[in-house]
Each structure stands twice: as structure tokens, then as C-alpha cells.
Structure 1
Amino acid sequence: MPTERLRDDAPSLARAARILRAGGLVALPTETVYGLAANARDDRAVARIFAAKERPRFNPLIVHLPDAAAARELVLWNDTADRLAAAFWPGALTLVLPLKEEHGLSPLVTAGLPTVALRVPAHPLARAVLRESGLPLAAPSANPSGRISPTTAAHVLAGLDGRIDAVLDGGPCAVGVESTILGLAEGGGARPALLRPGGIPAEALSAALGQPLAAAPASPETAPNAPGQLASHYAPDAPVRLNASAAREGETLLGFGPVDCAVNLSPSGDLVEAAARLFDCLHALDAMGAGAIAVSPIPETGLGRAINDRLRRAAAPRL
């Protein structure tokens, strides 16, 4: 069956909630990217996420919640989590914390790990569906595994039409890259570890905590300790070459700043604009039939860390 396209209105929100309560899959807009949502307590529903995306079962999912109180019911909360949630939730921050014994989540969500990744999204439609459904929602990006993340409903349908029940169209995502993931599972006063750069710069998190973030521990390719850690990810159809001063023969240049190029992340060199446009530009290059992609250098500061993280994974050897 074709995927149902839902609009931004009360009947569509009610329809999305009914589908989710019945064990279905609904792609939802968040401020970062569109997520493929299912009831995080329903084994069969979560298994459908992995099947629709062709996602490896060892790769854990993020659970989306309405507020920090809902998070406290699932995990061993601590003072650091409290400070970060007060400063950045709702928003583009995911916290990885140890599970409580009676958490009630499907083990597929955590890939068998003793921790879970939790986020409170800021997008009004995502928040409305969380309220209407009354469910914790497992929601990785709504795209085939390893491919470019979706920032519009059209991107979702291009990859998953017929594989999922519905997509709720909330327009383009404002942030454009996935959430920042912090690991808080070590305990004992250990510094939070940056497991994935994302929509909230590491500098802002360090400032809120009053200390630098710890480097992420090495994560084996077959057993990541958080979502978004696979080496090959976010890949367009064409091979990608990074830090290019110009395109070589046969390449199409994805530019940044005042450069002569086919597609530009931000002609003014604005990292916020570049992050918001990253995945849309990669989708556009696919649509153009680019045979090879060269990418201008991106500063490794602020949101540039998240942009470069996604581009390095897009350029990695395909699995």
C-alpha cells in the first residue's frame, strides 16, 4: 500500500496517533530530521522500523519523549542529566543513560545494551503526536539505512514509500542534522562523553556544564554504544571527496562560502545555514545524477563538527 501523507491539522494528528497505538510506523518531523516513529514498548512495531529501513539490529534507537519526567521513569537519572535537560530540552540533545530494571521498553530499542538514548524533541508536531499517542516513540531517521537523512516529507517518501504507514508533513526541518548525543552512563562523576556531534554545538554543552566534554570511547562497527556511530552513513549515490579546493574532472562541487559550484551549502559561509541545507543539498546532487561529489572545506567549529561528521561518514567506504 502507498504510504499515507498526513497534513498539519488535528485530524491528521489523531490519525498518526491511532496508527502508532495500533503498532504502525509514522514518519514525523522533528527540528533535526524526520524520524520514523513506532511504539517503543511494542516489539513488533520496533521490529518493523528495522525491517522498513533495512537497519542492522545491533544499531540502537533513540526514544523520543514528551518531557524530562517521562525520561526519569525509564533511566537512572542524575544531576548532570538534570542540568542538561533544563538547559537544552526540548531540543536537539540526546542523553544516553543506564536503564532502570522495570523500564518496559522493547529490547530491540537498545540493541541489548544496558543503556538507552533519550530525547525530548522541540518540533510542535512531534510534541503533539507524543501527547496524542501517549507513547514513548522510538524514532531513528526516516530513510533507508546508511543513506541520506530526510529533512522533508518528500525525502521520506523517496526512500520509504510503501514501506511505512504514513508520513506527517511538517515542512522542512529547521536544524537539518541529527541531535547531539552525550553519554552519561559512566557515573562516578565522569565527564559526559560526546558520542555524536549534532544540532547543539559541543561548545554550548561544555559552557552549560562548566567543563569540556570527554572524547567518545571507541565504538566497534558491529556493536555501537549509541545511534549514528556507523562509519558508513548518510551516503549519497555518488562517491564523496572532502576538503576539495575545486572539482576535478567528472566531479560536482558541493560548495561552502563564496566559491564557484553547482550546489552551495551557504554562499555566505554560515554554519547554521549549511547544517540546515546539508542533507537537502546531498539529495539534490543525487537528483542531478552527480557521478562524483567534491566538498569544499568546512570549519571544524560549532555546527561545523556535526557537518563534517556527516560528510566523513558519507565519504567512508560503503558497507
Structure 2
Amino acid sequence: MTQRLAATSSGLETAASLLRAGKLVAFGTETVYGLGADATNPTAVARIFEAKNRPRFNPLISHFHSADAAFQQGVACSLAYKLADAFWPGPLTLVLPRAPGSTVSDLAADGLSSLAVRVPRGENVQALLRAVGRPVAAPSANRSGRISPSDAAHVLEELDGRIDAVLDTGPCVVGLESTVVDLTTPDRPLLLRPGGVSVEALEAVCGPLTFPETESDVAPQSPGRLLSHYAPLLPVRLNATSVYASEALLAFGPDHPAGSGAIWNLSKTGNLEEAASRLFAGLRYLDAEGQKLGLTCVAVQPIPSHGLGLAIQDRLHRAAAPRPI
């Protein structure tokens, strides 16, 4: 049975003690709930892959309470400091060369010479990371390939009994995973994954970003790049301008097609930040409600490609991709 810990001083202390002891603890950040383990402990990290049924050993993001702590593990260039000043704590992950004295296990880094590091935003997660005092590896706290959790209840739906505890810090504010930028070649910053920091905001600080031409260009440096990912059990149909009676509808904006037996509107006002925060909860709701009603698909209205729309589109394209056999 997985403990559900309140975000109190005693709950935080218990969560930190469990992590230091090599246990698995899910916790909320501003993006999604992460499944945390001591990144310096390869046995603890291996339990992440087992709990998630993760099909292959991808590099994991290591989380820190401060930029100074992160840059002790990854070698920072001047651009890394600029981005950290602008967006940390916050939903940005930097891929840096691993520092010679890095204590992050090879398993967490997938044996690479680079390391993905992040300083998440939020009073509770900051307190937890300070109390642990070590890098914490934390991919999303869900079964591999499934919808990411934006609430503690989502974590327990999938991982109850498979992990030691979940620290309930309430719903996630951003609701999408972090943006990942590769700075291993400092004069050529590469966007590996769109996320909670928009491309426009990044480029205002670092100048033009390079975009990978193919999925293979980013593997294995970044998590979240499986072709089929973030997927409900029902198939997903994108850019729907009409909806069949047999389909659930993921709507966006004030106007949506009629005829669906189940509807979740990401944002009635067309606000992309609100849409991002409600995306994974909406996919979970429509998946469960659609199956109850005997529906066969989730239709998705078109989403704009500016701001956080690019990250929303990325998650939806992966949710709609052909499922692995």
C-alpha cells in the first residue's frame, strides 16, 4: 500500500527520509507529479524503471533545489547561467556536460556524458529537495507511455502499491512537463522537448533555437520522446472540426462541435496556459468516461501552435501516435 503524505512539515520530513533510504516517492512540481528516487543510488533508480514498466533505460532528469546545486553536477556555460537566471526555479530542463565529479549514477544518466538537470518551482518541492540534500531523479509518476499525472489521485490510480509514498501537494499549476534544451554545444542550443517555458520566451533570452529534424536526433538525450506517449486507452483523433456520436471531445475555445457524449473543454476562453494545466486531467476524464459510455475515440479540436500551444500539440501528437504492440 502506498502512503499518501500531506504536504506538512512531518509529511515532507517523511518523504525526504524515504528518498534518502532508497525508496520511491512521487511528489508534485509545477509541471506534473514526478516519481522520485535518490539519483546517486543506482538500486533506487532501477526501481523507477520497474515501477513504471519503462521499456528501456532512458536518461532521467535530476532535480535540485538551486542552480548552484545543479551546476555542481552539470558543467554550465554562460548561456546556462542566463537561462537559469531567467527561468529557474521553473519548468525548464537543461542538458549539460556531466561534471567530472558528478555523483549522479550512470543509470540515471543512461551512461551518457551529459546530464539533464532542473530546479523546479514550488515551496513544497523546494523544501523536499533541500531536505533530501541529494540529486533526485524524477520522471513523470505514471506507467510508461500513459497520461502524465497532474494530481496525487492520478498517481495512485496507476502506481498504488508499486511505490512507497506520494506527497500530495495538490494539482499542478503548469500541467505540462518541462521544456528541455540541450546546451552540450553552447553556441547551438537545441530544443529537445517543448514544454512549460514557451519557445518565444526562451528565444527572448538565448536567441534562435535549433530544432531537431527527426526523433532520432534527440534520442537518447531527452526523456518524453517516445513516439507513442501520454496516451489514453481510447484512440485519439486530432484536429477534429466535427465529432461523431461515438466520440468523446477534447474541446478548446468558446465554440465546439455538438453531438459528443462526453466533453472536456481545455479552456472556454482559448487561454493556452489554462489549456496546458487541464490537458492531462482532461485526457484521463475522457478516457474513463468514454469507456463507461461505450465511446470509441477521443476527438481533439485544433490547438494553436504559438506559446504553450506547441507543447500541447507535441503531447497530443504522441497520444495519437500508433501504439506499440
Q: Same fold (TM over 0.5)?
A: yes
CA shift digits 1:249-302 (9 cap, x unpaired): 421111101214611111111101100000000110122024210000000110
Q: How many angstroms does 1:125 deviate by? A: 1.2
Q: Does 1:228 align with 2:227?
A: no
> What secondary structure is seen at the aligned counterpart in 2 of 1:215?
coil
CA shift digits 1:149-203 (9 cap, x unpaired): 000000000010000000000110000000000010124x22x111000001010
User: 1-side partners of 2:217 and 2:171: how far apart?
Assistant: 31
Q: Does 1:90 align with 2:94?
A: no
Alignment of 1:123-162 (within 5 A): 123-162=122-161
Alignment of 1:155-194 (within 5 A): 155-187=154-186, 189-190=187-188, 192-194=189-191
Cα contact 1:3–1:164 (8 A) shared by 2: yes
Cα contact 2:236–2:300 (8 A) shared by 1: yes
Matched letter for residue 50 of structure 2: A
> What secondary structure is seen at the aligned counterpart in 2 of 1:50?
helix
Distance 1:52 1:221, change over 3 A: farther
Q: How many angstroms does 1:6 deviate by? A: 0.1
2:193 is aligned to 196
User: 1-side partners of 2:213 and 2:53: how far apart?
Assistant: 26
Q: Does 1:245 align with 2:250?
A: no
Q: Does 1:23 align with 2:22?
A: yes
Q: How many angstroms does 1:224 deviate by? A: 2.4
1:37 is aligned to 36
> What secondary structure is seen at the aligned counterpart in 2 of 1:298?
coil
Q: Which deviates the most, 259-268 or 109-118?
A: 259-268
User: 2-side partners of 1:115 and 1:297: how far apart?
Assistant: 36
1:3 is aligned to 2
> What secondary structure is seen at the aligned counterpart in 1 of 2:216?
coil
User: 2-side partners of 1:58 and 1:243: how far apart?
Assistant: 33
Unaligned runs of 5+ in 2: none
1:308 is aligned to 313
2:281 is aligned to 280
Matched letter for residue 296 of structure 1: Q
> What secondary structure is seen at the aligned counterpart in 1 of 2:46?
helix
User: 1-side partners of 2:214 and 2:116: how far apart?
Assistant: 17
Q: Which deviates the most, 105-114 or 172-181?
A: 105-114
User: 2-side partners of 1:221 and 1:295: how far apart?
Assistant: 28
Cα contact 2:96–2:116 (8 A) shared by 1: yes
Q: How many angstroms does 1:310 deviate by? A: 0.2
| Percent identity over paired residues | 55
Cα contact 1:19–1:25 (8 A) shared by 2: yes
Cα contact 1:221–1:231 (8 A) shared by 2: no
1:269 is aligned to 270
Cα contact 1:47–1:108 (8 A) shared by 2: yes
CA shift digits 1:18-48 (9 cap, x unpaired): 1001100000000000000000000000000
> What secondary structure is seen at the aligned counterpart in 2 of 1:214?
coil
> What secondary structure is seen at the aligned counterpart in 2 of 1:23?
coil
Matched letter for residue 72 of structure 1: F
User: 1-side partners of 2:134 and 2:100: how far apart?
Assistant: 19
2:118 is aligned to 119
Matched letter for residue 117 of structure 2: L
Q: How many residues align?
A: 315
User: 2-side partners of 1:223 and 1:54: how far apart?
Assistant: 19
| 4+ runs deviating over 3 angstroms | none
Cα contact 2:175–2:278 (8 A) shared by 1: yes
User: 2-side partners of 1:287 and 1:315: how far apart?
Assistant: 17
Matched letter for residue 277 of structure 1: R
Q: How many angstroms does 1:124 deviate by? A: 1.4
2:302 is aligned to 297
Q: Which deviates the most, 288-297 or 83-92?
A: 288-297
Distance 1:138 1:217, change over 3 A: farther
Matched letter for residue 283 of structure 2: L
Cα contact 1:58–1:222 (8 A) shared by 2: no
User: 2-side partners of 1:57 and 1:40: how far apart?
Assistant: 17
Q: Does 1:65 align with 2:70?
A: no
Matched letter for residue 273 of structure 2: V
